[in-house]
Amino acid sequence: MSSPDAPTIPVVNPATGEVIGTVSQASNSEVNQAVNAAAAAFNAYSQTSLQERLGYLQAIVAEYGKRLEDMARAITQDMGAPYASLSVKMQAAIGLGHFATALQIAQTYPWQEPHGSTLLVREPVGVCAMITPWNWPMNQIACKVAPALASGCTIVLKPSELAPACANVFAEILHEAKLPSGVFNMVHGRGEDIGPILSAHPLVDMVSLTGSQRAGSSVSSFAAASIKKVSLELGGKSANIILGDADLEKAVTHGVLAMMQNSGQSCNAPSRMLVPTNRIQDAERIAAAALTKLVVGDPMSSDTNIGPIANERQYQRVQALIQTGIDEGAHLVSGGLGRPEGLDQGFYARPTVFSRANNRMTIAREEIFGPVLTIIPYEDEESAISIANDSPFGLSGYVFGGTVERAREVALRLRTGMVHLNGAPPDLAAPFGGYKQSGVGREWGRAGFDEFVETKAVMGAQSNGS
């Protein structure tokens, strides 16, 4: 919703750097209208039966499936993900996956359960404000919206102003699913303008944000006055520990390719690779060879598997941090400053690997959010665990060992919300979230449902404790 004379924000194609459209900035009054609509719809929607809500989710899954290619094209237009290899297969598909997973979980979730003579009832938290990013836009929208709708909450979504097209497709999908009026509302605009309004609004019961530490701190501050529930999924600087008994070729190659996926723009990317000191030269050779498997270019080309950085501001940050890595003395294995050869426009960065770094360097401490990997040598397993945990972040971790059992022993000592063993893929039914400055709360699966409910204890409701 927006007025015809609202200020506009340019929408830029990251593959060319050209302005391809605009999005209207919602005014304060329009944000209030959206919140008021969600609040007005809550009483009725929160009282719908589970079967009714499952029906809405089923309709969304059906409509989303019809629009999957439209969604993928919009994502590529918004943030430059390669259409064939990433937008269709992962970026768009993961949104559909979260709704399908929510459908399954909602049918077995303990909405009511006995606890002795007490009945525990899980009820919708209320009006939920959701603020989502540009890097995995449908992942972050769907993993919030799906459990919220299943729980009986009403929603005001503020998607990234840098990824508006796919959010508009999503709104069209929900419209076709015939949700009751006011249950889902969406406003466009800059997060620094709209985030404080939503976070402080007296009719908003919960704020769920995925974004930067700065944004998380701001949301928490504005929400504090009214003691709102806040869920934050923030940044990461995840360590990838390659143990001495691991298959080095397999482990390093997987780690490099996982880091470079989505042009390195993933909060859980394995951005610090920890390798035994006596194997560092081999790791560098393997990493350089892995980069040759990557094709950087036009995201609409079927040959491309690495697209541009999603926006100019992020591109400039990536370039600055590559320069910092060089200045601080890290060994540049491959890549470096500027665009790849033959790409003279757009926000393309060179996939870059630094090695022989230490954990005090800026490139080992800060989230670069680009296709930049930092390899850090370690002397023994204890020092590897210490280096991995020596970070203000704690989102994800990765361990490669000769056996899963060895990898699991190390994983249990990492201070992170998730750990992937020997290349294990994500699990949409498992909790997603982190320790320390990586956030508060969890998303995905049943844990995602827990964020959108309040638990009521009805004492004496169960006769004879049954």
User: In order of start, what are the domains of the chain with their CATH numbers?
Assistant: 8-234+438-458 (3.40.605.10), 239-429 (3.40.309.10)
How far apart CA 430 and CA 442 sit, in angstroms, is 9
Distant-in-sequence, close-in-space partners of 347: CB < 8 Å, separation ≥ 6: 14, 15, 17, 80, 308, 309, 310, 311, 312, 314, 315
* Average pLDDT value for residue range 342-361: 97
Annotate 69-86 with b (16+ C-beta within 10 A) or e (fewer).
ebbbbbbbbbbbbbbbbb
Q: With contact defined as beta carbons under 8 Å apart, do 318 and 368 qualify?
A: yes
Query: What's the token pair of residue 60?
Result: 């969304």
pLDDT at 463: 79
* 466, pLDDT greater than 80: no
Reported as a single tens digit per residue, the pLDDT across 384-430 is 999 999 999 999 999 999 999 999 999 999 999 999 999 999 999 99
Q: With contact defined as beta carbons under 8 Å apart, do 152 and 123 qualify?
A: yes
Distant-in-sequence, close-in-space partners of 368: CB < 8 Å, separation ≥ 6: 264, 271, 317, 318, 321
Q: With contact defined as beta carbons under 8 Å apart, do 209 and 215 qualify?
A: yes
pLDDT at 288: 98
Q: With contact defined as beta carbons under 8 Å apart, do 354 and 331 qualify?
A: yes
Catalytic site residues?
233, 267
pLDDT at 251: 98
* 1, pLDDT greater than 90: no
CA atoms 201, 205, 211, 217: torsion sign:
positive
Instruction: Report the chain's terminal Cα–Cα distance, integer Å.
Output: 49
- pTM, entire model: 0.96
* 465, pLDDT greater than 60: no
Reported as a single tens digit per residue, the pLDDT across 224-262 is 999 999 999 999 999 999 999 999 999 999 999 999 999
Q: With contact defined as beta carbons under 8 Å apart, do 123 and 453 qualify?
A: yes
How far apart CA 68 and CA 304 sit, in angstroms, is 20
* pLDDT above 70 as % of the chain: 98
Higher pLDDT, 130 or 463: 130
How far apart CA 99 and CA 184 sit, in angstroms, is 15
* Single-letter code of the amino acid located at 304: T
Structure confidence at residue 3 as a pLDDT band (50, 70, 90): low
pLDDT at 6: 76
At residue 407, φ and ψ (nearest 5 deg) are -65, -40
**Which residue is it, tokens 């630094």?**
354
* 272, pLDDT greater than 80: yes
Annotate 211-245 with b (16+ C-beta within 10 A) or e (fewer).
bbbebbebbbebbeeeebbbbbbbbbbbbbbbbbe
Reported as a single tens digit per residue, the pLDDT across 159-201 is 999 999 999 999 999 999 999 999 999 999 999 999 999 999 9
